[in-house]
Structure 1
Amino acid sequence: MRAVTVIPGTPNSLRLVDGYPEPPIDEGAVLVQALAVGICGTDHEIIDGHYGEAPPGSAELVIGHESLGRVIEDPTGSLRPGDLVAGVVRHPDPVPCPNCAVGEWDMCSNGQYTEHGIKGLPGFARERWRVDPQYAILLEPALAQVGMLLEPASIVAKAWEHIERIGARAVWRPETVLVTGAGPIGLLAALLACQRGFTVHVLDRSPTGPKPDLVRALGAQYHSEGMAALGFDPDVVLECTGAPSVVLDVMCQAAPNGIVCLTGVSTGGRMIDFDAGALNRELVLENNVVFGSVNANRRHWDLAATALAKADRQWLEALISRRVPVEAYAEAYTPVSGEIKVVLDFA
């Protein structure tokens, strides 16, 4: 079968392998026919050689962690042939740590977790893959064109769950949400905020293109003039860019008792002068909370599946900028400015 692989740590080693081995049964009882994989910044960083870890005993890593496929067989009876599924990315560590032991593997404390297409497990950019039933998320048939969005949606679902848990520390009636960045994570964060009934604002540097219309279609407000021009202090901020200057700005912008969730990952190496004392004073005196959130456990994947099922299908489809057949894999993994989500199509 065909699979898209890299040699971790070796820049530009991306290739399409014809004759890649079929997935062995020890990868999981559920055999899945791949339909598509979504492509994100993590894939590009792995291709550039910045990180990534091949499975034990192999020099190659099949990439792809935003999956979508149809069940071929499941001898356990949990799923039926033809069911639409996505595969959970992270698996718990074998020790396990206290969090992994109770299914909270997104909060792994010893770093020995594995992740499909990223760390120690083959990814989903192959024609067939296997997974245990507990890591297979059943999707509604209507999501057949957009189900690969489940992985980024699961990250946002976790972020919202933790925001709501933190908010429960006191009487908290948030009204205004700010999302910084209108990429897939930011737009899905705005979707879940709108589903919760908040007044939602999205800040992105692109004044044109599809992003403003996508935000307005949710009933949210779009801004491209910068943080200083917003004119309000949000109760909740989801920072989805990882841009250091934006990260600092949102920490200073939150309303009293505000919560800032950082989902964007900074590359590092950029120095910014700022008044750390003033930031500390503001966070302390206003009871603000800043926290980071990454990955998701099974509960969050299920929450994300419910959120996508409730969303407008045409809106979700509009997030996908390009669908590229697997034969043109190199084109799919070549970034184009202004795109939101590129999908590698196996169907």
Structure 2
Amino acid sequence: MRERGLEFKVGLLILVSSAILIGFIFILGNFSFRSGFTIKVDYDYIGALQPGAPVKVSGIKVGKVEHIDFLGGKPDPKLNGQRVQVRLTVWIEDRVRDAIRSDAEFFINTAGVLGEQYLEIVPGRDWEHPPIQPGSVIHGPPAVHDPPRTDLVVARLYEVLDGVAAVLRDDRDAIKGLLSNSANAVKEANDLLVANRAQISELITNGASLAKEAKTTLAKVNSGLGDGRPVATLVADASATLKAAQSTMTTLTPSAQALMSDATRVTKIITEERIDKAINAADKAASAAGKAGGLIDNVNGMVTDLRSGKGTAGALLSRDDIYADLRELIRDLKRNPWKLFWKE
């Protein structure tokens, strides 16, 4: 009886151990008894992603990466000859099929800082088109995003650090002089501020007073405007003026166009020959005007002489006794016309 009890315990231990081992295999092997579908996702770089890596939608594990195929840039006839570097075969559970829309995005993320990598799917929001169908091939941006190349970032950072070290080593004297000059400039600026502390304080005080006065002025302007009706009236008047000006311009536009047409015809009529003739006529008119001016000057001089009594006509006009004698002579000749022919 004791031997049978021992055999029973050993057999039970073996069964329990086998069950635990099978459970671990299922857990670690990402086995699932749910139905699902597969799609293809093309990448140029996948980092440290391995077959069997989990697939998550909105942070929930819903599948795994079944295969990773390196195509090495071969053209794919299904993609109109586009070249593919790495193609992932992804298995996803059917329960999230409707959630993965046609505008879904695919990222390769890392669980933690140094954790394993997994494929993250952002479901998308295009509910007007059907979801991604089984067997679909997802290629290129904006749907597919390559993981960041931290190795390249580190390598380029090393290059930058080497360049900085070389500059610090080769231009040590120049950098020392620059730092010395900067220190002197800071010291001079500090001395200047200390020496002119009173002026700076006065300037700040004046600025504060100016700001206060501006605030008071704005308050007065605001109170003067009141509810804004004057401004609204001014804007309305300006709008009415603009409308009237626009109407006037609309009315004057045909007349202006006709005037421009007439001016164009006039400019076509005017030729160089006619311009020369007009210039000659203007010159002749100017010469005639000059001669007329001279004639007027002569007449003016003659009138001046007459008024001053120069000459016979001037004496006749200016002296009354000569006028009286001449008048008496004319009367005597009328009474005695024979005196014209006979002299005593």
TM-score range, shorter chain: under 0.3
Which protein shows a greater Rg?
Answer: 2
> Which structure: greater strand fraction?
1
Bigger relative contact order, structure 1 or 2, given CA contacts below 8 A and separation 6+? 1
* TM-score, scaled to structure 1: 0.20
> Which structure: greater helix fraction?
2
* TM-score, scaled to structure 2: 0.20
